[in-house]
Structure 1
Amino acid sequence: MVAIHYIIGFPPKAYPGEKTPAIAKLPMRFLLLCYLSLICTAGLAADLKLDQRPAQPSEWGYRPPDKSNSEVNPPNFSWRPQRGITQWEIQCAADSNFSTINYQADSIQYSVHTPSVAFPAGNCFWRYRGQNERGEFTQWSDVRRVSIAADALVMPMPSRDELVSRIPEQHPRLFLRPEDVPRLRQLAAGSMQTHFNSLVGTCEKLLRNPPPTKEPSKYGPNVDKKSEPWREIWWGNRNYTIRALDGAATLAFTRLIGGKDEYGALAKRILLECAKWDPKGATGYRYNDEAGMPYAYYFSRTYTFVNDLLSEDEKEICRKVMKIRGDEIFEHLSPRHLWSPYASHSNRAWHFLGEIGLAFHGEIEQADQWVWFATNVFFHSYPVWHGHRIKS
């Protein structure tokens, strides 16, 4: 009752014949803070339990499994994600009691991790635990042992900072870097001229007959899903998108390594016309991923190859479009795909998310996160179909 008096703003008074309560002599602000603290921490005393349920057939599993051999050094670690866990910690030791810890990492974003350094050959014992936003930890996981052979392929994963630092600040950024352009121009005029001439022939055809760039139509209210009319629109919009933006990417690349300026001008026009398409419309990733995926990677390639021809306003138009498209792909894949990777479309989509991230590094705020996620997929849950499954 005394606390209620303070919460509503009136300190308690002594009744006739009673002494003033001791609590009434304390500052009201102090008591209010104590009361709110009790409310906020109520129910938090329970232990934060780690979810260690066995992996299901549709799930990637705990990797490396216990008593297994790793074909790469360092191993690629993977474990079950858990709602409410905001970051992870992993330890690797030379013994199962972890009296000698050889490697430790914390603040891990995803439920996967590959160290950036190689491990000594021999047995490696590993365990992990999670942490929530209040800083509380789960218990440590079960300990697993993996054996690393002396001849295991050395393939450490760069840290996020190192990975991002490798992306060139200037364009192009996909398939070649700015410093590669002079050499490719020499090859195009020399030993690879036959291949270059083939590209030129394609570009000349595109100049004579440019692809249409009007936004394709959606399914319509009377089209039943999976019906033949639906399939014609579904796959037809994919082919339509590829015709436009693959053509633009070819024009832009050929111009970059020594082709006509007209190739670049047409590539730019196609790019900006396609940028007008509704990013969540007929070619949106979640609406029709068979059209949305080629849009994502061919648009990104064209953008980076023709970047020097774009004004700042034109670049901003492209950034706004690809932010929406990139966000849509990322929200669909992250972090789900790392633990449940057995979906053919998702297994293609993460590649293209990485291309968007590279092309728009430093230009879209989330771009580096897209690259980081795609790199984690590459190291930890790819390829998923390779002749056998490793059981947890």
Structure 2
Amino acid sequence: MSSTAPPRFYAARLTGTTVFDPLGDVVATVRDVVVVPQARESARAVGLVVEVAAKRRAFLPITRVTAISPGQVISTGVLNVRRFEKRTGELLVIGDLLDRVVTLSDGSGEATVLDIALDQDRHKDWTVSRLFLRRRRRGGGPLGRLVSRGETITSPVAEVSGLYGTQAEQSAHLLAASYQDLNPADLGEIIQELDPKRRIELAGELADDRLADVLGELPEDIRVEVVTGLDAARAADVLDVMDPDDAADIVGELPEQVAGQLLDLMAPEEAEDVRRLLAYDEYTAGGMMTTEPLVVAPETPVAHCLAMISREALHAALASTVHVCRSPLETPTGRLLGIVHFQQLLRERPDRPVGEILDADKVAVPPTAPLSGVTREMATYNLVSIPVIDEDGRLLGAVTVDDVLDHMLPDDWREQDEPVPTTGQIDLSQIARATARDDAKEG
């Protein structure tokens, strides 16, 4: 019984490969692969070093790479062109690992690394899997000096030692690696228990997307402490990969000068979304919404919508609803025609246009709608997300149920020892307090 081999690329052979955007336009050229060694497994790729105009080297996160194949790399088309700077715990495959001398675990001696293969696992992560090596043997010259002329072999990375340096050299990132299997909420609890210096050290070792998830689980004062403790360019990178509504929450908590600096350092498209959200009060639909819901044109077939929903990186609540709009399809869109729920898509034939199956109940709220109004609409129509539209009917974003709960619960709920009430046990006084607060603001 045969099995399909996982996708694989060799780093040295990837060097010089052209990076294209989804439309086929040239974006950059690959120059290196950035990896982070893990505690209980091999190193995981976090991005590519690419060369853009004027031989400037920038970082392309692996989460923005949609395909790697011989002769081409396909990206989402979004590239932050700030100059690449290697962070603590990161290693460059070409710059740091090639030509290293490793020891073979079978006792046959040492070998020099000529190339490194990375495989893609079922979670879509790229990890170092195999090494292309040249054995080292003793020559017949004076002192039996080592020469690197020997047979070439391919070895699983688990069967060699010394690739990532000594234990002391790896100690900086071992703490972060030991927590890699924890979900963001559990890791957030651990970070709360650390002293401030250790928090910053641990945050510095986490990949951007991982740190972004963890920040969303921290109390306001601690996440402000972490973000302000990071290098400004690193903090901006983390905000870039966050959902716009979560990034806006953090930026709104920062001192004005720091917030302005980070917005200037963020990718222009991401910063624009955050600035738009900051214009609304926190406890309104505009302040809670994400500006990146699923949006399609009415002629889009059902099969394409289901493919969009199946993306692993998509938040479950956002994946529940497809918004059908006139062009443009980036928020603020053209006029919102209606929504289609995930379950409805499953019941339709794949080639049917979604414009023919719109939900008859066109429920939406304006960006100024208070928390209490959003909550009532979602409860009335049993929604896990609700569209936010302007006075012209254009889609501005969507509020999801998790954002509503975050604003309904007490500000310090993450720091409380007792369990948070679950479905069927929510304290009605929380809703009363939220409603009273909104009514007071409206008055």
Q: Give TM class, smaller chain.
A: under 0.3
TM-score by length of 1: 0.23
Structure that is richer in strand per residue: 2
Structure that is richer in helix per residue: 1
TM-score by length of 2: 0.21
